[in-house]
Structure 1
């Protein structure tokens, strides 16, 4: 049985979405981020990333983490590549070349897109978007993201998908990274293929089910 550690309001959303796409049964262990708890080590604190019980599973103290029949793995995007590869089907690479492209695009998103996009999310979460410093951070992130948006836009123009002309784990991984920039509509207006692609990804039943669970969680 697959166990997914992490609340839906975290990068664990990626693993929950993929599990839904694959139709995988799983157990959800809602580990919350330690920074969201006043005293993460208090006796009555909810299970969080600093809890000894969680650190015994994942010493890095990061979510998500999975336990797949005794195989423990971290790093959300890598987890998705592993689960897609293990269970096969159209979401996985059908050839060595497709697998390589999925890895390439996922690593590109992790290194070139997410570091900037996450600054937008963190600024919004801190209610700092209206401050001078917050505006500067978001403006800088948007400027840095323009090149990546244009690269993906040009790539999607051919088939509307990242790899293989169909929805795959590569689309899911990138969609979850690009979602962090959704508060900046100009980026998407300047990259219409990216906008259409993200809308299509987020119209999938498994994404909607994940977001429904995410929204049901307490802040």
Structure 2
């Protein structure tokens, strides 16, 4: 029995890697790159026919459990390898579980594409290949979901809770911060949404995140 996580940390695999590291559980890491055809081999396609990382394979007594999609991987690890004790990243109540589910899916549907565009065309791509107009358009669109999360964090703060689902850091924060961290390339968004900016910095400043990025 054991947990295996496929994918390099410099990919969406950071989400399950971060969740597992926060929980302090043992796992086997296969740092499979997402470029160069490594995810298109017959062996890997037998695990994930979509040909993408991350993938989590959980060898259990009743048989292997295979999980695709980065958010699902992180949520699965938190739910089945953590304790719902109100201290770990695992949701401890139905409300916390609901927050983790809705915010993780929200991050993918409302922010991820534009966050990646912003990152690529403001920071990652060689300057000669960047298209500032694409980054600017993504930044304008992101202003809408940023208002949503800023307002949520304001409500959480009023309740004495400084994270998305609770007073403590949970898998909801793992999933959403892993996306919104890409938007720190936008000074405009960070300045206009100070609670969100502070929350992102606190999340990615955690020792577990630093440990994963060093893998």
Deviation at 1:152, TM superposition (A): 1.0
Question: What is the alpha-carbon distance in structure 1 between the residues aligned to residue 73 and residue 131 of structure 2?
Answer: 32
Deviation at 1:145, TM superposition (A): 0.4
CA contact (8 A) 1:4 1:65 kept: yes
Aligned residue for 2:116?
Answer: 118
Cα displacement string for residues 102-143 of structure 1 (whole angstroms, at most 9, x for unaligned residues): 111111111001121111234344325x56x71111001000
Question: What is the alpha-carbon distance in structure 1 between the residues aligned to residue 185 and residue 195 of structure 2?
Answer: 17
Question: What is the alpha-carbon distance in structure 2 between the residues aligned to residue 56 and residue 121 of structure 1?
Answer: 32
Aligned residue for 1:173?
Answer: 175
Question: What is the alpha-carbon distance in structure 1 between the residues aligned to residue 33 and residue 103 of structure 2?
Answer: 29
Alignment of 1:1-219 (within 5 A): 1-34=2-35, 37=36, 40=37, 48-69=38-59, 70-86=64-80, 87-89=82-84, 90-123=88-121, 124-127=123-126, 134-157=131-154, 158=157, 159-213=161-215
TM-score, with normalisation over the residues of structure 1? Answer: 0.86
Question: What is the alpha-carbon distance in structure 1 between the residues aligned to residue 46 and residue 33 of structure 2?
Answer: 15
CA contact (8 A) 1:64 1:75 kept: yes
Deviation at 1:166, TM superposition (A): 1.5
Question: What is the alpha-carbon distance in structure 1 between the residues aligned to residue 117 and residue 32 of structure 2?
Answer: 23
Deviation at 1:13, TM superposition (A): 1.0
TM-score, with normalisation over the residues of structure 2? Answer: 0.87
- How many residues are matched? 200
Any gaps of 5 or more consecutive residues in structure 2? none
- When the two chains are superposed, the root-mean-square deviation of aligned CA atoms in Å is 1.5
CA contact (8 A) 2:7 2:33 kept: yes
